[in-house]
Amino acid sequence: VSAPLRAWIVASGDELVQGRNVDTNSAWLARALLELGVETERFLVLGDDEPALCALAQEASRSVELLLVTGGLGPTLDDVTRHALAAAAGVELDEDAAALEDLRAWFAARGRPFSESNARQALFPRGAERLSNALGTAPGFLLRSGRALVAALPGPPREMERMFQDELRPRLERALPPRAPRCVARFFLFGLPESSFADRCGEWMARGADPLLGVTAHAGVLTAQLASSSQALLDARVTQFRERFGEWIFSETSGDLGRALGEACLERGITLATAESCTGGLVAERLTRLPGISAVFGWGCVSYANAAKQDLLGVEAALLESHGAVSLPVAEAMARGASLRSGARLSIAVTGVAGPGGGSETKPVGLVCFATSLDGVLQSTERRFAVRGRDLIREFAALTALDLARRRVLGR
């Protein structure tokens, strides 16, 4: 019997297959499995349907070496994963005395009554190993079914992720063969359209290339991944990649531009401030996701109205009157005001037309003006974002502001 190399991932729940919730567990697990050298062939999403899940588990154990199932481990009758996987493996369900004791203790510790339906969560397919749930009541389990290993994990992502890391991953690492070398490097780029990217390196993306380059785009951020069978091949291509795309790479570890800017400022001790109009707080929100950012960021404002631009940033009424709120001079005055008021070395200002209303011939929806001030030196620029909805214009504007500020910090 060969050890696991290929996997199917199943998510179970009426709320998923009816489209009320989106299954994010499967993508998370596919990434985690890839790190273990296991390739996922397919995801499946099913309702709370015992016969369908049983049939699928039987098909999986004939087709692949590993099956992961999330969801359907709750205490109610529509939680069918335990029963379906036991039936697929051709074994009975047994009540586990230790698991039952843990469940009773969990409820007692929270002063909540233990109902008999919860005892269902102490049932396990005969021969299964129990996986403890550090964050909830539903234990998971791991069993062998034919040639496949089958694991059941809870549906809530936090519980699932914790159980995978603490309980399942170590067991899979023991069960898996030493994996084939797979060397990976990642790059996160901003400001380059996906098509321009492909034009510059199409030959690196051809099927069979080693290293093989893949790219995905999300809200203006490109994630490029190089994967190779050899570290030497990978290293050479990484060097070429940095030469070709260094201008746009903002990180090799995270796709979070707020983090990239925040870390650049923290490393250099550069304090910063934000002055936002059309982004409505999004720039500050992205920055403050980073723990410890308070060491360099303390002051931001959402000067949505002209009066607020005057009051909070000292933008002069005459300037607003003559150029309009969406203009380079006003963006510059906002950045200058933010620096003066906050005392920060670096400030970022954004003002634009997010739409859907408020556009004009000279100031159309999608026009956004940016200014940065670093140690008193102003820079400003404008962008016209394609009109693809208010949310996307705000998102692109916020990311552009973060990137412009990051380039100032790095002296680019």
Pairing of strands 221-228, 249-251: unpaired
Residue in this structure with the two tokens 């030196």, named with its chain if needed = 377
Q: Which is nearer to a second copy, 223 or 379 (CB)?
A: 223
Residue in this structure with the two tokens 């974002």, named with its chain if needed = 385
| Contact call for residue 77 and a second copy (CB under 8 A) | yes
Q: Which amino acid is at 51?
A: P
Q: Which is nearer to a second copy, 301 or 331 (CB)?
A: 301
Q: Which is nearer to a second copy, 141 or 297 (CB)?
A: 297
Site for a second copy in 280-309 (CB under 8 A): 280-285, 287-289, 291-292, 294, 297-308
| Contact call for residue 226 and a second copy (CB under 8 A) | no
Scanning 17-25, 81-89, 96-104, 237-245 for contacts with a second copy by CB under 8 A, the matching segment is 17-25
Least separation, in Å, of the C-beta of 129 and a second copy?
Answer: 25
Q: Which is nearer to a second copy, 306 or 379 (CB)?
A: 306
Site for a second copy in 338-357 (CB under 8 A): 341-343, 355-357
Scanning 81-89, 215-223, 371-379, 404-412 for contacts with a second copy by CB under 8 A, the matching segment is 215-223
Scanning 34-42, 138-146, 230-238, 371-379 for contacts with a second copy by CB under 8 A, the matching segment is 34-42
Q: Which amino acid is at 363?
A: K
Give the total of residues touching a second copy (CB under 8 A).
76
* Out of 6, 37, 42, 323, the residue judged to bind a second copy by CB under 8 A: 42
SS3 357: coil
Least separation, in Å, of the C-beta of 24 and a second copy?
Answer: 5
> Residue 80 burial (CB < 10 Å; 0-12/13-18/19+)?
buried
Tokens of 83: 């029963």
State the DSSP string of 89-134. HT--EEE-HHHHHHHHHHHHHTT----GGGGGGGEEETTPEEE--S
Q: Which is nearer to a second copy, 264 or 283 (CB)?
A: 283
Least separation, in Å, of the C-beta of 279 and a second copy?
Answer: 8
For 376, the enclosing helix (H) or strand (E) is none
Q: Which is nearer to a second copy, 143 or 270 (CB)?
A: 270
| Contact call for residue 98 and a second copy (CB under 8 A) | no
Least separation, in Å, of the C-beta of 302 and a second copy?
Answer: 3
Q: Which is nearer to a second copy, 130 or 390 (CB)?
A: 390
State the DSSP string of 131-177. E--SSSS--EEEEEETTEEEEEE-SSHHHHHHHIIIIIHHHHHHHSP
Q: Which amino acid is at 21?
A: N
* Out of 6, 36, 43, 329, the residue judged to bind a second copy by CB under 8 A: 43
| Contact call for residue 161 and a second copy (CB under 8 A) | no
Tokens of 240: 């070429």
- Residue pair 72/81 in contact by the 8 Å Cβ criterion: yes
Tokens of 220: 């203006």
Contacts with 287 (C-beta within 8 Å, 6 or more apart), sequence order: 258, 261, 262, 272, 274, 293, 297, 402
| Contact call for residue 109 and a second copy (CB under 8 A) | no
Q: Which is nearer to a second copy, 196 or 230 (CB)?
A: 196
| Contact call for residue 96 and a second copy (CB under 8 A) | no
